[in-house]
Amino acid sequence: MPITTVADVDKQTLDKIYQLDIKLTEEDLLVKVQGYPVPTYDAFHGWLIINDVEDRYDEITAFFAKQGVEKVIPIYLAMLQGTSWEMKGTSVFTFPEVDQWQSMANTLIFLQQEIVPIIGDVIPVSGDRSDEYNRLAGGAGQSKHMQFCALDMVPVKSYSREELMSKLKEIHSKVGQKYQVGLGIYGGIRFHIDTCGFRQW
């Protein structure tokens, strides 16, 4: 249905279209964490507004809090598809279905209780993924990222790969089966955690 014009567009609105109102820099929207480009909360907040999902984000954060999840990670990064989005032509973030929220809550609780106390703070560089993004990124066909159950992360602290691997494998051997943890260790200090099946690679 065509939109019928009811009034002239005011100058203030036009100025926002034609002129730069707030001079943002790359650092306002993107920061490097262990070499990975991670969107800032300001960037995410803009995505929330444009996609009209602010209320849904409030709902998911309230759900996590009710499950006992504390501020173990910046929650918005659980919805970050990955750090190669600029080459994929896909959305930076994606919003998971409600029936998947519990899976991520389980993963966050595992991080909170077992990973962060030993490794220190971690920053996600990939969380929930759409089928399209996962395919373009070369993810596994049954990737737990598409079930909102998995996070790929890097530690905030400086670790050698060998030191980090040793700590993660020890945690996995002790409590991995209890939490049904999938542990993957990639090149460098990037690692994968999910709570959707006990395994390691």
DSSP-assigned beta bridge partners for residue 124: 153
pLDDT digits (tens, 9 = 90+) for 14-63: 776 677 667 778 788 899 999 999 999 999 999 999 999 999 999 999 99
Domain count across the chain: 1
Give me the numbers of helices (H) and strands (E) for the chain, helices first please.
8, 7
Domain assignment present for residue 86? The answer is yes
Domain that holds residue 82: 23-200
Residue 87 has pLDDT above 60, yes or no: no
User: What is the C-alpha separation between 201 and 199, in angstroms, rounded?
Assistant: 7
DSSP 20-60: --S---HHHHEEEETTEEEE-HHHHHHHHHHHT-HHHHHHH
Give me the helix-helix angle, 54-66 and 41-51, nearest 10°.
120
Domain assignment present for residue 116? The answer is yes
Q: Which two tokens stand for residue 34?
A: 């262990």
Domain assignment present for residue 157? The answer is yes
Domain assignment present for residue 11? The answer is no
For 102, the 3-state DSSP assignment is helix
Mean pLDDT to the nearest integer, 131-158? 88
- Sign of the C-alpha dihedral, residues 158, 186, 201, 194? positive
pTM of the model: 0.87
Are the CB atoms for 190 and 153 separated by under 8 Å? Answer: yes
In this predicted structure, what is the pLDDT of residue 88?
Answer: 59
Domain assignment present for residue 10? The answer is no
Domain assignment present for residue 37? The answer is yes
In this predicted structure, what is the pLDDT of residue 21?
Answer: 66
| Lowest mean per-residue pLDDT among 8-12, 75-79, 85-89, 113-117 | 85-89
Residue 1 has pLDDT above 60, yes or no: no
The CATH number linked to 90 is 3.30.1380.10
Domain assignment present for residue 7? The answer is no
Domain assignment present for residue 6? The answer is no
Residue 84 has pLDDT above 90, yes or no: no
User: What is the C-alpha separation between 94 and 79, in angstroms, rounded?
Assistant: 6
DSSP-assigned beta bridge partners for residue 191: 153, 185
**Residues whose CB falls within 8 Å of the CB of residue 126, separated by 6 or more in sequence, listed in order:** 80, 81, 82, 83, 145, 151, 152
In this predicted structure, what is the pLDDT of residue 90?
Answer: 77
